[in-house]
Structure 1
Amino acid sequence: MSAHQPTGGLPIAGEQVPPILARLVEIVGPRATVAAGIRAGHGHSEAYHAARPPDVVVFPETREEVQAIVGACRDLRVPLVPFGAGTSLEGNTAALQGGVCLDMGRMNQVLAVHAEDMDVRVQPGITRKQLNAQLRDSGLFFPIDPGADASIGGMASTRASGTMAVRYGTMKDNVLALEVVLPDGRLIRTAQRARKSAAGYDLTRLFVGAEGTLGVITEVTLKLHPQPEAISSAVCAFPDLKAAVDTAIAVIQSGVPVARIELLDDVMMRGMNLHAKLGLPEVPHLFFEFHGSKAYVAEQAGTAAALAGEFGGLGFQWATTPEERSRLWQARDNTLYAGLALRPGARAMITDVCVPISRLAECLVATAKDIAESGIIAPVVGHVGDGNFHLLVLLDPESPAELSRAKAFNERLVRRAIALDGTCTGEHGIGLGKMDFLELELGEAVDAMRLVKGALDPLGIMNPGKIFRPAGPNHGEQP
């Protein structure tokens, strides 16, 4: 059964109805459910963290329903966790204290396309693929591609980016305005549609990346971009990891406006060959994509190919037809499953860091050495054009020793990145998995975040236990 199709799940006759469920049924009827299967489906994600289901799942269809639901949770002091597509990787939507999961999947409409201004207003539950399908005839598209078909509201909440961020930026660069229900039930709009503004605090960027801890997003205004006249993709093999990384750095520093430049190490290439049958050499690769006019794409590609040759690249293999490009990038998007093919039955601890591109080779080479010395399987894939890379640490989910070893490796990785002026997460967010690292990275600035949280959500009902630990004993992964 789809998580977006509740079919009751109310307590049977004679059972006591929890006060919050009774209130929610008054607001949305049978779209509030305590069905075990639906609750379980909202308690886990691709993250390695233990599943933490909510007590109730509710499916609003309008902003007014969201306001009423937030008001009910406020009145009864019940935790509330907004939920998009469930693709988060750091336990961002785990219901640590139970409560209500607010599934936004039914609020999935395109509200207005302003083609002449190149922007669009959407509800938060629409996914990026659904949005681009509806934009196809407009000559415009939304380029942020985190790999998974995530919801736009979820992407805004986690400040997502992905493979095309090197050219088009991240969610913080492409969200013009938000409509948000605050924890006290008020509805606010953070900005107008103008491309720039100096009007007061930048509330839009405050809520982008807040992971649902400050309010519930009910509408998003996004920048759009012209569909490129020509698209060309290529892969290039390299003799070692450093040569591939040095090529990526040289391409960026030379000003080549690549749309995508992705690194896959030899271990990940082996997994991709197993999963997607690409038949490519199992050595480090860069995946490139170029956007623009035909002449401009040819010029960009030629420059990148020449730079790759200087660092020992083994020649570009081109994917020129839409079918070839789709197969190539679908394989890249499915790197989680490619990684898991290397160790059937394993689960992946998926982590990411980001460093200045001048420190990227140093960070990656040291990380590769750490992987070898640790005796773990951890394929690497990276958005190296902006210094961001991911690791899939494959482990036996039933082995505490393997989980402990993976967590120790992850801590060394993050400390290494922060020491190189980087960040503990380039795009996954903090959730509950990287709270300690946020303190390490930003120090006293985290206390300023706590002040903002306390001012907007004094009752602490909005996605509690995420981003940072509040004062008091009930935090983190405790119930």
Structure 2
Amino acid sequence: MHTPSEPGRPPLPPAFVDAMSERFGPRFSLAQAVRAHHGHDESHFPDALPDAVVFAHGADDVVFVVDTCRAHRVPIIPYGAGSSLEGHILAVRGGLTIDLGEMNQVLSIHAEDMDAVVQPGVTRKQLNAALHGSGLFFPIDPGADASLGGMASTRASGTNAVRYGTMRENVLALTAVLADGRTIRTGGRARKSASGYDLTRLLVGSEGTLGIITELTVRLHPVPEAISGAVCAFPDIVDAVNTVIQTIQLGVPVARIELLDALTVKAINRYSKTTLRESPMLFFEFHGSPAGVEEQARTVQEIARDHGGLDFEWASRPEDRSRLWAARHDVLFASLNLRPGSRGISTDVCVPISRLAECVDGVRADIDASGLIAPIVGHVGDGNFHCVILVDPDDPAEIAHAEDLNRRIVERALALGGTCTGEHGIGIGKQDFLLREHGREAVDTMRLIKQALDPHDLFNPGKVLPPA
């Protein structure tokens, strides 16, 4: 008999264990180490282990799992790469984790139509490797080498979103298994359609609570003819943000604009062995024709100069750009290195671009008043920025203090017409904020959709929707 991972949790039904073992053999595991791996993500929330893990190899496996779990009322938690930041893959009510990472085939590439069909376990790096030589690439870059199924489930975006959009704009179609075992196909390869309800957008961002994605059709983009990068330091963070605002308002088609405050720059200098000026800084990347890239960069350089920009430095060589963006992607680990042994509570607000300077300046004041260590970094080209609040994971009082700071940051963003999450999703960490942002009626409507599609609340229960 299986011993539950949490005191008081009933064991999995023996008939369920027998059915899963017979179907999957060694791909079904009750082992503590396997469960522990799947009960941990990159968030600050305590680990929550599933009672078992199954590794799916195809859509028929997913259908079998859903049917068996429904028959025995066992919760199902979809798992991709485990890189989520809001507790999406934690088994807060036990149950079965279905690991989709081995469903990792690039099924077809349609270069002429600029799209690709992939299984959910394909990662962005894997897809771009498969596209090598095609003249196309997949631009959504959340930092971690996340699975595309997970990225769709959380409506991920990242550094390139200011030019190429988020997963919402780049998923054309998907196939998903619903809680009653039916498989549905949403969307299509046509670039537009006015046919019926937009079920693709319903499932993109649903965080595994409405369906389990088994296939995606994603939009591809031409590899730019020329790419150039630059970094620019500023006397203070408001000058840097005002540079971003003016750049966007003038319609400069910049591909990436990343903000790092002085503490973040200090952290990556230590961690990545860079030698950047330790002051607020913007990282830019420009895509297009050689003449277009040069024109974009010159325009931004003039804007930056008007706002006190210092040391505007080019990074035209691929190795220099790679070094800069690798340092940017390592910000979480660099920040944690500022306080060894700490965990990071990552905030994720997004505001209208015209309110960005006001919001960032106010958040910086909130951090200073709190006494906590919290570097600021963000994809500010679309108004999205983060704080990594460093806490002692064994100090409940400090965690509560950090969560209070996070709440103040969210309230500030909402008051400025923003959102509690630009890209990380709701998970278990932002359910109260969902209600504040959308109101009772809208959240109740979301709950009706959940009840209609998953009446037994088996798909990733305890996530997204606050308790009724």
Deviation track 1:11-43 (CA, whole Å, cap 9, x = no partner) reads 9xxx99733221212222210101111100000
Other-structure match for 1:374: 370
Length-normalised TM-score, structure 1:
0.95
Moved more, 308-317 or 116-125: 308-317
Q: Which secondary structure state, in structure 2, belongs to the residue aligned with residue 143 of structure 1?
A: coil
1:29-428 paired onto structure 2 within 5 Å: 29-428=25-424
Deviation track 1:307-351 (CA, whole Å, cap 9, x = no partner) reads 000000013111111111111000000100110121111111112
Alignment check: 8 A CA contact 1:182 1:214 kept: yes
Q: Which secondary structure state, in structure 2, belongs to the residue aligned with residue 407 of structure 1?
A: helix
Q: How many angstroms apart in 1 are the aligned matches of 2:82 and 2:115? A: 26
Q: How many angstroms apart in 1 are the aligned matches of 2:258 and 2:14? A: 50
Instruction: Tell me if 1:467 matches 2:436.
Output: no
> How far did residue 470 of structure 1 move?
4.2
Q: How many angstroms apart in 1 are the aligned matches of 2:2 and 2:449? A: 37
Alignment check: 8 A CA contact 1:27 1:69 kept: no
Q: How many angstroms apart in 1 are the aligned matches of 2:436 and 2:467? A: 16
Deviation track 1:54-104 (CA, whole Å, cap 9, x = no partner) reads 001000101011101100001111000000000000001110111000100
Q: Which secondary structure state, in structure 2, belongs to the residue aligned with residue 155 of structure 1?
A: helix
Q: How many angstroms apart in 2 are the aligned matches of 1:28 and 1:194? A: 37
Q: How many angstroms apart in 2 are the aligned matches of 1:381 and 1:271? A: 11
Q: Which secondary structure state, in structure 2, belongs to the residue aligned with residue 251 of structure 1?
A: helix
Q: Which runs of 5+ in 1 are unaligned?
A: 1-8, 472-479
Q: Which runs of 5+ in 2 are unaligned?
A: 4-10
Alignment check: 8 A CA contact 1:450 1:470 kept: no
Alignment check: 8 A CA contact 2:163 2:254 kept: yes
Other-structure match for 2:453: 456
Q: Which secondary structure state, in structure 2, belongs to the residue aligned with residue 345 of structure 1?
A: coil
Alignment check: 8 A CA contact 2:179 2:210 kept: yes
CA-based RMSD:
1.3
Alignment check: 8 A CA contact 2:351 2:416 kept: yes
> How far did residue 106 of structure 1 move?
0.5
Q: Which secondary structure state, in structure 1, belongs to the residue aligned with residue 196 of structure 2?
A: coil
Alignment check: 8 A CA contact 2:208 2:460 kept: yes
Q: Runs of 4+ in structure 1 displaced over 4 angstroms?
A: none
> How far did residue 469 of structure 1 move?
2.7
Q: Which secondary structure state, in structure 1, belongs to the residue aligned with residue 200 of structure 2?
A: helix
Alignment check: 8 A CA contact 2:435 2:466 kept: no
Deviation track 1:129-172 (CA, whole Å, cap 9, x = no partner) reads 11101111111000000000000000000000000000000000
Q: How many angstroms apart in 1 are the aligned matches of 2:242 and 2:425? A: 27
Deviation track 1:176-203 (CA, whole Å, cap 9, x = no partner) reads 0010000011011011211100110000
Q: How many angstroms apart in 2 are the aligned matches of 1:285 and 1:227? A: 27
Of residues 416, 430, 438 in structure 2, which corresponds to 1:434? Answer: 430
Q: How many angstroms apart in 2 are the aligned matches of 1:261 and 1:18? A: 54
Q: How many angstroms apart in 1 are the aligned matches of 2:210 and 2:162? A: 29
> How far did residue 420 of structure 1 move?
0.5
Length-normalised TM-score, structure 2:
0.97
Q: How many angstroms apart in 2 are the aligned matches of 1:167 and 1:244? A: 19
How many residues end up aligned between the 2 structures? 460
Q: Which secondary structure state, in structure 2, belongs to the residue aligned with residue 389 of structure 1?
A: strand
Deviation track 1:362-397 (CA, whole Å, cap 9, x = no partner) reads 010011011111101000001110000011000111
Q: How many angstroms apart in 1 are the aligned matches of 2:316 and 2:14? A: 58
Deviation track 1:249-268 (CA, whole Å, cap 9, x = no partner) reads 11111111000000000010
Other-structure match for 1:4: none
Q: How many angstroms apart in 2 are the aligned matches of 1:341 and 1:281? A: 19
